[in-house]
Structure 1
Amino acid sequence: MSDSDRVRAHVFVSGRVQGVYYRASTRDAARERGVDGWVKNLDDGRVEAVFEGDEERVEAMCEWCETGSRAAEVNDVDATMESPEGIAGFEVRW
Structure 2
Amino acid sequence: MGFRWFTRANALEIGGLTGFALNLDDGRVQVVAEGRRENCHRLLDWLRSDDTPGRVDGVTEIWDTPRGGYEGFAIR
Query: How far, CA to CA, are the matches of 1:41 and 1:89 in structure 2?
Result: 18
- What 5-or-longer segments of structure 2 have no aligned partner? none
Query: How far, CA to CA, are the matches of 2:52 and 2:6 in structure 1?
Result: 6
* Higher strand residue share: 1
Letter matched to residue 31 of structure 2:
A
Greater CA radius of gyration, 1 or 2?
1
Moved more, 22-31 or 79-88: 79-88
Residue 76 in structure 1 maps to residue 71 in structure 2? no
TM-score, with structure 2 as normaliser: 0.87
Moved more, 30-39 or 60-69: 60-69
Q: Deviations over 1:47-82 (max 9, x none)?
A: 001011000000110111113533x11110001001
* Aligned residues between the structures: 73
After TM superposition, which residue ranges in structure 1, 4 or more long, deviate above 4 angstroms? Answer: none
Please report the RMSD computed on the Cα atoms of aligned residues, expressed in angstroms: 1.4
